[in-house]
Amino acid sequence: MFGKSNESWLIVGLGNPGREYEKTRHNAGFRAVDLLAQKLGCKIDRLKYQGLYTQTVYGGRKLFLLKPQTYMNLSGRSVLQLSSYFNIPPQRIIVLFDDISLPPGRLRIRSDGSAGGHNGIKSIIAEVGSQDFPRVKIGVGGKAHPDQDLADHVLSTFSAKEEKDLQSALERAADAALTVMEKGVPEAANRYNGSTP
C-alpha cells in the first residue's frame, strides 16, 4: 500500500468552525492540520464538500487536507463527500483529533478502532461505513473534576502550560500524519505513540 506514487490520500483535522472555538480543546485537529499545511507551503482555503480543503502533492502522492465545516458531530458528511469524489478509501484517510484520555502533549496513533465516545469519529465511521481509517489522537487532558460537563470541558481553552505542551504535540501530530502516509501506521506509532515534548 505504501510507496505508490499514483494514490490519493486525505488528512482530516477535526474541530468546530468559528472564532469562538479556535483555541478550545476540541479544535486540536484543526490546529494540527493548519500546521501541516504551513509545513507543506499551502493554505486550507477552498470551500467545498461541506469543508475547507486544499490539494497538494507530497512524496509523489496527491494529498488533500480537510477541515470539515459542519460542526464536530457531523464531520463525517464532509469526509464522505470529498473521499467519495476523489475515490479515496478509508485506509488512506488519516484523521487528527483531540483525545481527553491523554494528557496535553501526548499522541497516540492507531490504524482503526471504535469512536471511543468522540462524536466526530462516530460521525466519520457512520458516514464512511468503516472503522478502518488511521488516526492521530492529540492529548488535550481530562476533566478538571468528575462533575464537570464533558461538553464544557472540550469547549474550554488550555492553561498556559497546557498550551505550550499542546503546541509541541501539534507539530508532532502533523509529522506523524506524514509518517503514516510514507511508512505506515506501525512505524508512525513506534515513533510518536506516547511521545512528549
Active site residues: 26
What is the spatial order of strands in the sheet that 135-139 belongs to? 46-48, 51-58, 61-68, 8-13, 93-99, 135-139, 107-110
Residues 171/35, Cβ–Cβ less than 8 Å: yes
Residues 75/14, Cβ–Cβ less than 8 Å: yes
Name the nearest CA neighbour of 109 among 192, 171, 28, 26: 192
Which amino acid is located at 159 in the chain? S
